Amino acid sequence: MLWFNLAALMIIGLIVWWFWLDTPAQAQARNDRPIAIVVANGVYQPARVHASVGQTLTLRFLRQDTSPCAELVQFPELGLSVTLPIGHHTEIQLPALDKGEYAFHCQMQMYRGKLIID
Ligand SMILES: [Cu+2]
% of the chain at pLDDT higher than 90: 68
Residue 67 has a pLDDT of: 93
pTM, rounded to two decimals: 0.77
Give distance in angstroms: CA of 115 to centre of ligand 1: 18
Cα gap 44→111, rounded to integer Å: 6
From residue 14, alpha-carbon distances to 6, 10, 31 in Å are: 12, 6, 39
What does the domain layout of the chain look like in residue ranges? 24-117
Give distance in angstroms: CA of 7 to centre of ligand 1: 24
Q: What is the pLDDT of residues 51-83, one digit of tens each?
A: 999 899 999 999 999 999 999 999 999 999 999
Q: Average pLDDT, stretch 45-51?
A: 95
- Considering the four listed CATH numbers 1.10.3720.10, 1.20.58.340, 3.30.930.10, 2.60.40.420, the one that applies to the domain covering 24-117 is 2.60.40.420
Give distance in angstroms: CA of 107 to centre of ligand 1: 5
Residue 97 reports pLDDT greater than 60? yes
